[in-house]
Structure 1
Amino acid sequence: MENKLNIMIVSDEDALMSQLKTIAETKSEQVIGVRSNEAVREMNREMAHIVIFGQTDTDTSVEVVQMLKIINPNALILFIANASDFGLLRNMTRAGADEFFVFPEEAGLFSSRFPNIVKSYAAKKAKNEESAAPTFGRGRGKIISFYSGKGGSGCSLLAASFAQTMKLESSAEVILIDLNGQFGGVETLLSIESNRSLADLQPVIEELNESHIRNVSQTQEHSKMEVLISPCDAEILETLDEEFIAKLLRTCRRSFDYVVVDLPSSINGLVVTAMEESDKIYYVLTPDTPSLKIMKHYEELSERLGLVLTSRMEIALNKLSKNFEVKQKDLKNVLRYPIIASIRQDTKGLQSFINQGQPVRKQAKERKLIPFAKDIRKFARQVAKQ
């Protein structure tokens, strides 16, 4: 049971990091080490059950521990101090630290107590999971990004339809964020008219909360899903930076169960930040050679940028048709990532919806669904089970 626990070690000192890793790896196979300035982003990306936090040289330790506890209230936080300090102990306890050790004096005590601490936490976690009802948890939403390196692959349509279906098929709180700056696009697919965009959140980004987001977002008429529209102005888009996107996504994660992000095909700082914050990246791939070649370039670029795609990226095959020379069974032997969805080409069924600017789903239980909508429903249900 302990081997399934994710343990995150936070330290800015290499020697302490190495020492703590040696101890942690005796009880779990999933141990990662990060610097203090990367801890919050890593916790958002990959939920850690146990955090061993080494005191930093700055006064940010308390703030970071508070943020980690907000992201995962059930996390067990073990704080390692450099010296005995009653004031620090009090502040850390208030911030959410569960245990307090002083290194190097109590290194032996920590090493001997750690196995029992992990065992007790694992037992408590299992008990809570057995008694908990299968409901959507607040405060730890899932960020899902849709991306394709090739324009015209249907990425925006898939993202919008997926988000709409997730809202109709479940009791989850869903928000769709359009990062396709410059000209937008999602509002046209969902029949939304508004002169407000996510750029209007800039003045309040430092104290951003759910109320601010709902004041700017638009509620889709049929599903009641929230939609944050992209600014249809390249000049305004240039005023947004990576920090803005990171804070926006983290706040949405705490306020919604599913945060669906529609990304542009171009790669820039905003797109990379959104990908880093995402729990899942669904790469929209059409079954043709140019698309496969572009995806390979994307994989190589991600590796150079340090984007971790393993276990996070899955393929959504779009526009599948008997007329295509490349078949799905052929792609399975070529692709490095699993295929999570297969969406049939449905030009005849989709055309009227796209031309009228209407979503393909309007009700929770619709009898006559076009093939595209049926495939999206299957896709959404599969994701909801994960």
Structure 2
Amino acid sequence: MEKIRVLIASDYIKEEGYYKTFLLGYDDIQIIGEVINGEQALKRTEQLLPHVVIIDLNLSVMDGVETTEKITANYPNIATILISARNDIEYSKKAIHAGAKDYLVKSFNQEELINSVRRVYHNEKKKIATLQANSNKKENKYKVPQIVTIFGTKGGAGKTTLSVNLAVQMIKDTNKKVVLVDLDLQFGDVSVFLNILPKKSIAELVQERNQLDIDLIESYLITHMSGIKVLPAPIRPEDSELVTPENILEILTVLREHYDYIIIDTPPFFHETTLSALDISNQILLIMSMDLPAVKNMKLSIDLLETLHHKEKTKLILNRASEDFGITPFDVEKTLEFYIANHMPSDGKLVVRAANRGIPFVSNKTNSKISKSIEEISKMVIKDKGYQKDLEESSGKRSILKKLFR
């Protein structure tokens, strides 16, 4: 079941997260961001593409009516709910003329807000479905491009191996536009894994004085023989300081308008640029190996992701899965209180040989067990499955895990 992605724009956030307390705890609703003025609301709407935006009338910088007008004009398939302290017919008319799908007065209760969010979301889905049927288009015009971030807090966990091979596999599976962004800004190895020699990188891109548009970004992308495009990490570690979180959001926002899948490789720590990528991501793949330090670090990571409201879009991938380490997948799940979505078997020789040659193993070792596992992960990402709710509802979850370790 698709969750309703909600962005909240309210001055109350500074004090108590007013509307957020009303919306937490519902399985079908996901709060993807909170902002405190109209300008931020426009920017985060562009970056996060929510289904519903809740907007206070008395926002600073840009009031709620103007904010609603601009969101509706730029993103007609995003529903807005305007909230006011005034039970006034004139303000209600202004809200409707601005494009708001509902208008609530602050005497409303929790049930009224929840019902409003659900109603405007489902009404918008029906409208989009009708437009699609009338236009007789096979492609889903309104499908949100997927930004998929690969993350893990332990070096050597296999982030780059997964990132590179997943990107190549996904272009094979979908024949759509895939770009791989190396956000390990100090020591990124994507170029090495793909045997490409970049002359310029994301560090030079962010120093451009020209407007950051798709033409400029694509002049920095390298086309791999597999068909994927690559935005390399800085060539020199010290140049990583040139790249800011704002740069990352801007680049990913532009890429999302022109590519179907953006795969992001990251460093093994929560850097500010990594947090920006996690914020804008649709899916987060956490990768870990089966050792106690990795389990400990992963527990802390999941807790932090929950604090950042990213846990619901997170999937756990177990790398080098084997019974030989004295830790079972059931031990991992019990400790983390988090289900494993998929796994990559141990195949050190093939992985290292592929990295040394600069040829992703999914390109020429398609029958190997680890290539098959990447294919399964690719299907999971494409189908947008593997979240905790999906795994909890899967009746064969335990039997599936047992098969992995026969």
Q: TM-score, normalised by structure 2?
A: 0.74
SS in 1 for 2:349: helix
Deviations 1:49-87 (A, max 9, x none): 33332232323768855774588541122445789999x
2:66, 2:201 → 1: CA distance? 30
Deviations 1:322-345 (A, max 9, x none): 432222233232232221211011
Aligned length: 369
SS in 2 for 1:256: coil
Residue 235 of structure 1, aligned match among 238, 250, 254: 238
1:21, 1:325 → 2: CA distance? 42
- Indicate the residue corresponding to 1:372 in structure 2: 370
Deviates more, 1:133-142 or 1:155-164: 133-142
RMSD: 4.2
| TM alignment of 1:321-336, pairs within 5 A | 321-336=322-337
- Following TM superposition, by how much is the alpha carbon of 1:205 offset from its aligned partner in structure 2, in angstroms? 7.8
- Following TM superposition, by how much is the alpha carbon of 1:237 offset from its aligned partner in structure 2, in angstroms? 0.9
- Indicate the residue corresponding to 1:12 in structure 2: 11
Residue 175 of structure 1, aligned match among 165, 176, 179: 179
- Counterparts in 2 of 1:247 and 1:121: CA distance versus 1, 3 Å: closer
- What one-letter code is carried by the residue in structure 2 that aligns with 1:153? A
Deviations 1:121-150 (A, max 9, x none): 624523644856674656832221111111
- Following TM superposition, by how much is the alpha carbon of 1:278 offset from its aligned partner in structure 2, in angstroms? 2.0
- What one-letter code is carried by the residue in structure 2 that aligns with 1:173? K
2:294, 2:331 → 1: CA distance? 14
- Indicate the residue corresponding to 1:54 in structure 2: 56
Gaps of 5+ in 1: none
Deviates more, 1:150-159 or 1:263-272: 263-272
1:373, 1:70 → 2: CA distance? 45
- What one-letter code is carried by the residue in structure 1 that aligns with 2:341? I
Residue 381 of structure 1, aligned match among 363, 375, 379: 379
- Kept in 2, the 8 Å contact 1:349–1:371? The answer is no
- What one-letter code is carried by the residue in structure 2 that aligns with 1:369? N
| TM alignment of 1:188-203, pairs within 5 A | 188-203=192-207
SS in 1 for 2:311: coil
- Indicate the residue corresponding to 2:352 in structure 1: 351
Residue 271 of structure 1, aligned match among 265, 269, 274: 274
SS in 2 for 1:334: helix
- Kept in 2, the 8 Å contact 1:136–1:257? The answer is no
- Kept in 2, the 8 Å contact 1:7–1:28? The answer is no
Residue 251 of structure 1, aligned match among 254, 278, 282: 254
Percent identical across equivalent pairs?
A: 23
- What one-letter code is carried by the residue in structure 2 that aligns with 1:353? A
2:117, 2:379 → 1: CA distance? 37
1:64, 1:180 → 2: CA distance? 35
- Following TM superposition, by how much is the alpha carbon of 1:321 offset from its aligned partner in structure 2, in angstroms? 2.6
- What one-letter code is carried by the residue in structure 2 that aligns with 1:232? I
- Kept in 1, the 8 Å contact 2:4–2:52? The answer is yes
- Following TM superposition, by how much is the alpha carbon of 1:298 offset from its aligned partner in structure 2, in angstroms? 3.0
- Indicate the residue corresponding to 1:126 in structure 2: 126
